Structure 1
Amino acid sequence: MSTMPSAAPAPPLPYDVVIRGGTIYDGSGGSGYPGDVGIKGDRIVAIGTVEGHGKREVDARGMAVAPGFINMLSWSTVSLPADGRSQSEIRQGVTLEVMGEGSSMEPLSPTMRANDLKRQGDIRYPITWTTLGQYLEVLARNGVSPNVASFVGAETVRVHELGEARVDPTPAQLRRMQALVSEAVDEGAMGVGSSLIYAPGPMPRPPN
């Protein structure tokens, strides 16, 4: 009894996604140019005239195709713990949110945590962290759409040790503030972010 040979399986498509016919702005600062973008996995693997097909084809004619944008002054610190989809940023093409200008979500003392809970407005969420590492773990566990980076806020470090009073730190308090910054950097902070026009940033000493 003869059997028919089975057909060879079709070769896999070379791309997962092909974005067709958009105006490409590649981030170099030059003018946009028409072309296609081929994506495989999480990488762009072809730009220009892309031969072959993708599992998904996107018609981008009349649209701009660009790398993700960076929000260098993000205040999604409050919204991301409550809703990690970040629709207001993602729908504008923002893929990296940089936080921590002046104030940050950490480090928190028990008093700061209680005050932050009391001061929550329409967006409400539990505050289960005290350090930057713990805050980032909460975001990762909940799931967030954008990439996230953070400075540690100079104001937050000050309030942690001095409260909101108009006082200068003692040498011992200053050392504790330095230790908080060092801990935050070890946990991923990009550095210290200051915003000295906002209290308690400037904190001028009261007149004699």
Structure 2
Amino acid sequence: MKNLLLFLTILLAVASCDQPDYDTILKNGLIYDGSGDKPYKADVAIKADTVAAIGDLSEFTATEIIDLNGLAVAPGFINMLSWANTALLEDGRSQGDIRQGVTLEVLGEGSSMGPLTDSMKLDMSTDQGDIKYEVKWTTLGEYLQYLEEKGISTNVASFVGNGTLRRYAVGNENRKATPEELDVMKGLVKQAMEEGAVGISSSLLYAPSGYADTQELVELAKVASEYDGMYISHIRSEGSELLEAINELITISREANIAAEVYHLKASGQEYWNKLDTAIMLIEDARKEGLLVTADIYTYPASSTGLHVQLPDWVREEGVEATIKRLADSTLRERILSEIKFTNPPSSIMLVGFKNEELRKYTGMRLDAVAEELGKTPAEAMIDLIVEDDSRIQ
């Protein structure tokens, strides 16, 4: 028996000597570590799901060694404003982003996948496009847990959207929340933060998120601040009132003692481009004051939203469903047409998302070209398309 134990001990020792140090070594890479510092040459070792070592690893072994010959190596990229919330339900592999190096999807721009009332769950179940799914969650935390259990390639995080909170407590009405409704929303923020939300978001160009006034947003942000969350916002205006909108975000940061970020900072529309330098200066001044105010920006001269944002504000009140009813009302048509002022010329507006299969032939066409084909003005074509598609049209 002693000889057998000795033999097994020696066998294990020999086997352990043959085990490689790491699963994978990426050698001779140019490391961009995300700090903003200059890149440097180094090797990267991976063991299981962890970056185990960075440096000169020439003395170490691995199951797989890949010579990068100076190619760039970087941490996974972060999609700060991801709308993969339903796409991940359909296909958790996230091939559209992960093949571009995105390893974290941050969801929840102004609206989030929870918390939901029964009526909100019903709306979410019935108002679906090509991707069909069951709403098997109620809270934001339950949605995130559902994604994880379903299986996804990327990491996910989410803000809780003030628009979702408003629908939950107030509905789609354009009015000030009552003290009782505000208390409900604050309680929901608390719950969402305890379930793992990273902060509270707003998307103030859209209903019902934009029906919240500054003080309401401050009160909700104060709750998120207690959990070291942040406030992030598609600000109230990116054009004529860009500076006022940035000042609102700075006010919320100051009064709620919370880090705040501007989603996709820009001056939208050529006539407002001269505002951008001042906008950046406002953010820099807030940072000098000691406020944790930041901004993100995409690196291309285009944006994506609903065609309905070209309509007058009163037409868009109470959400897309109410908007479509107004557009279909023949008694309102002339008034709506007279008040449409395109913030972007129709020649620059590309139609990319339809629910109605018969209208998908216009996908990729500019609004002015579609209008010409229909024999209508761009404003008339826009109204008719939105009504016929029964959607805001992307």
**1:149-188 superposed matches below 5 A:** 149-188=157-196
Say which SS state the counterpart of residue 43 (structure 2) adopts: strand
Would you say the 8 A contact 1:81–1:138 is kept in 2?
no
Deviation at 1:31, TM superposition (A): 2.6
Partner of 2:25: 18
Higher helix share: 2
Secondary structure at 2:18's aligned position in 1? coil
CA distance in 1, matches of 2:78, 2:145: 21
Residue type of the alignment partner of 2:122 = A
Identical-residue share of aligned pairs (%): 49
CA contact (8 A) 2:169 2:184 kept: yes
Q: Give the match for residue 28 of structure 1.
A: 35
- Structure with greater Cα Rg: 2
Partner residue in 2 for 1:99: 107
SS of the aligned residue for 1:56 comes to strand
Which of the residues 145, 150, 154 maps onto 1:146?
154
Worse overlay, 90-99 or 41-50: 41-50
Could you tell me whether the CA contact under 8 Å between 2:81 and 2:105 is conserved in 1? yes
Where has structure 1 moved over 3 Å in runs of 4 or more?
5-10
Within the candidate set 98, 111, 114, 1:90 is matched to: 98
Match of 2:144 in 1: 136
Contact 2:45–2:54 under 8 Å retained in 1: yes
Cα gap change, 1:46 to 1:84, in 2 (>3 Å): same
Farther-moved stretch of structure 1 (39-48 vs 136-145): 39-48
Shift of 1:62: 5.1
Distance 2:26 2:86 in 1: 34
Q: Which moved more, 1:99-108 or 1:47-56?
A: 47-56
Moved more, 37-46 or 88-97: 37-46
Secondary structure of 2:103's counterpart equals strand
Residue of structure 1 aligned with 2:89, choices 58, 64, 81: 81
- Say if 2:46 is the partner of 1:46: no
Give the 3-state SS of the residue equivalent to 1:202 in structure 2: helix
Paired letter, 1:11: D
Q: Which has the higher strand share?
A: 1
Q: Provide the TM-score with structure 2 as the length reference.
A: 0.48
1:37 maps to 2:41: no
CA shift, 1:180, in A, is 1.4
Q: Which has the higher contact order (CA 8 A, sep 6+)?
A: 1
Normalising by the residue count of structure 1, what TM-score does the alignment of the two structures yield?
0.88
Shift of residue 204, structure 1, vs aligned partner: 8.4
Equivalent-residue separation in structure 1 for 2:202 and 2:107 (angstroms): 11
Partner of 1:190: 198
- Count of aligned pairs between the two proteins: 202
Q: Is contact 2:176–2:212 with CA below 8 Å preserved after alignment?
A: no
Report the aligned-residue RMSD.
Answer: 2.2
What SS is found at the alignment partner of 2:183?
helix
Unmatched runs of 5 consecutive residues or more in structure 1: none
In structure 2, stretches of 5+ residues that fail to align are 1-6, 214-313, 315-394
Find the residue that maps to 1:107 and give its secondary structure.
coil
